[in-house]
Each structure stands twice: as C-alpha cells, then as structure tokens.
Amino acid sequence: MTTSSDATFPAATVEVHPDSDALTTAAARRFVDVLVAAQAERGSASVVVTGGGTGIALLEKVRDNSGDLDWSKLDVFWGDERFVPAGDPERNELQAHRALLDHVPVDPARIHTVATSDGEYPDPVEAAAEYATAVRAHMTTYGGFDLHLLGMGPDGHINSLFPGHADSIGEQHEPAVAVTDSPKPPPVRVTLTYPAIRRSRHVVLVVSGAGKAEPAAAALGGADPLEIPAAGARGAESTTWLLDQDAAARLH
C-alpha cells in the first residue's frame, strides 16, 4: 500500500503485520538490511534509534540476529532523549544499551548521546545545541542518516515533537532543539526536528496497538503535522510505516 507524497519526497509505503511480535521482527530485519546495504555502498552507516516498548523490543531482536552488519562502522544517534541525570532509567540511551549496545562490538566513539542534566551541559538549550553540533557534523560528512527509526504516541507525536508545539514542529534550521514543556513526563527533553528527520535516507515508523490506529490513519491521510506530528515524517529515499493489525485498524 502506498500513500500520496509531498512533492519532494517519495510516497510512503505501509506494511501491516499480524501482531506486535511479527512487527518488531520485521522492523529488526529492516534495521539490518538498510544498514548492511549502506555499508556496502558507502563503507559506513548511521542509525537513529527510538525508545518505547516497541522500539526497545526491536533492538533486542537486532541483538539476536544482526546478520552481516559491521558494528565497528556504525554511528548511533537518538531521535530524542529525556533530559535527566546520568543513570536515570528514563534515559533512552540507558535502555538502548541494555537492549542492544552493551551486547555488540559498536565503537564507543561512534555512539552520539545527548548530554545529561547533571553533566557538562546542565541547561537543556545548551545540551540541545551541543547535540545539534554533532548531528550537523555527521550530516555534513555523510549527507544525512541512513536510517531513522520512529515510534509514535497515541497523540501522534514522534521523537519529542508533540501536537501543538509550534516552536519545535516549525523549526526549519536546527536539527535538534530543547523541549521544556513535554506533555509526557519528564517535561524536559532534547529532540531531533524535521530538518534532521528529512535528511534521513530511510525513515521507518514502527507502530503497535489499537490506541495508535486513529493517529496513524490521520497521518497517512495527510493530517497537519502541527496536529499529528507523525504526518510530517519523510525520508529522502523512502518512508515506511510498519504497523500491527491493531494499529492499522482505521486504514482504508
């Protein structure tokens, strides 16, 4: 199934899987396939990972079967991060390490994390600027990310781009910004923006559960990104929605 596309981006493709286990298996396979192909083409690859139950489950499946992926030639970024102290279980970074990164031979120098609230950049705006510098440097060298994984909340948010948050959703230049009033706790976060998402060659949204069915249908139907931020997610070469049957229930 394909949907209409923005003029400058390919149409989105939709895949529906029977349940969340099949969904995360397919997402893990996509993770490996995209990055192996990128390494074959350019010698290096990059991925932006996402948190949440579905995002962490797919990382665990990648750990179990990473095929021909060369971990030493992979850059890892995060789509967003909770601005909390180091070691806080809310950190997406910590969850990703436990699920995957602590179990594979990834180069620590190529793991690009957001500063912690008790670290060198205790101001979230400064932390976002520091992360934006790292993201911009990577995009300058490699042209963009190879794979950007996204989850979606029941309100249609992606990364920490929330409905109605015009400042972050409308950001046109900075690849990362601070969010100080997240409707989900914790309230302070750092997030990648549309300029970073759209510099990704392949964007994959992994969405599970009946509570996501209405926003998924709205996003794929061309909703205003200010109301359903997932509607603005686009990849330069491909945009793929991977849904389980519950999340796909409202699609026509």
What percentage of the chain has pLDDT greater than the value 90?
96
Task: Give the tens place of pLDDT for each residue, 22-56.
Answer: 999 999 999 999 999 999 999 999 999 999 999 99
Q: For residue 91, give the 3-state DSSP assignment.
A: coil
Q: What does the block give as tokens for 86?
A: 């180091």
Summarize pLDDT for 188-240 with one digit per residue, the tens.
999 999 999 999 999 999 999 999 999 999 999 999 999 999 999 999 999 99
Neighbours of 166 (CB within 10 A): 8
Give me the helices (H) in the chain, please: 20-42, 52-64, 92-99, 124-142, 166-169, 194-197, 213-220
Say which CATH class 24-244 falls into. alpha beta
